[in-house]
Every structure is written in C-alpha cells, then in structure tokens.
C-alpha cells in the first residue's frame, strides 16, 4: 500500500514538473524573457523604415540568440526587419517585391 502511494506520488510529481517545464518553454518561445519587448522591436523597425508594423514574431537560435522578425508596410512595400532581442538594434532590412500600389503623377502620360 505504501509502495503504491509512493509510486503514485512520484508520477504525480513528474506530471506537475512537466507541466511547469512546458509552460516555461512556451513563455521563452514567445519572447517573454527577452530584454527587448515586441512593442519596442516594432517601434525600432518602424523608425528604420517608416510605415506601420503589421506582424511581430520572436525567434531564438542557439548560436545567434533571440531576435524579432517585424513585418512593416511602408510606401506600398513590404519590409522584413530583423531586430536584436538583446539591445533592440536593427540587424537588417529585406524589402519584398515591387510597389503594390503605383501612384500616378500629373507629369506622367496616361497609357490606355
């Protein structure tokens, strides 16, 4: 009877430990322990490119550390901005495609 109770208590302890460990891993993967928040990363990305931030995603790599990928829309272009999660510096900007929206100015001839 006592042996069965010890085994059950051990299993319950391991189950509780795995739930707590899973919660910590999930919190880490969302960037909750990063020195720079997602809002600060979005603000730095928008300051670099202009426009507005559409999406912020936290990524962690064992070799490079944590960083944010911020998708910014500015002047009809989509920019992917990489922001360091440790100090908030913009590491790189990648602009995708061409302008989606072309604006017609008065000095350009209209083609029909």
pLDDT, tens digit (0-9, with 9 covering 90-100), for 54-70: 999 988 888 888 899 99
What confidence tier does 108 reach under pLDDT thresholds 50, 70, 90?
Answer: very low
pLDDT in tens, 23-46: 877 766 666 667 888 899 999 999
- The Cα–Cα gap between 74 and 72 comes to 6
- DSSP letter at 87 equals T
Q: With 0.85 as the threshold, say if the pTM is over it.
A: no
What confidence tier does 104 reach under pLDDT thresholds 50, 70, 90?
Answer: very low
Share of residues in the chain with pLDDT > 90 (%): 29
Judged by phi (left if over 0) then psi (alpha if -120 to 50, else beta), residue 106 lies in alpha
Residues in the chain: 112
Q: What is the pLDDT of residue 72?
A: 93
């Amino acid at each position: 009877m006592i042996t069965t109770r010890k085994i059950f208590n051990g299993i319950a302890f391991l189950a509780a430990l795995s739930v707590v460990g899973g919660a910590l891993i999930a919190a880490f993967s969302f960037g909750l322990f990063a020195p720079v928040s997602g809002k600060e990363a979005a603000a730095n990305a928008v300051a670099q490119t202009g426009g507005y931030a559409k999406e912020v995603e936290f990524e962690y790599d064992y070799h490079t550390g944590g960083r944010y990928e911020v998708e910014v829309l500015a002047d009809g272009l989509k920019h992917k901005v990489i922001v360091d999660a440790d100090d908030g510096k913009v590491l790189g900007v990648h602009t995708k495609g061409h302008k989606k929206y072309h604006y017609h100015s008065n000095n350009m001839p209209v083609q029909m």
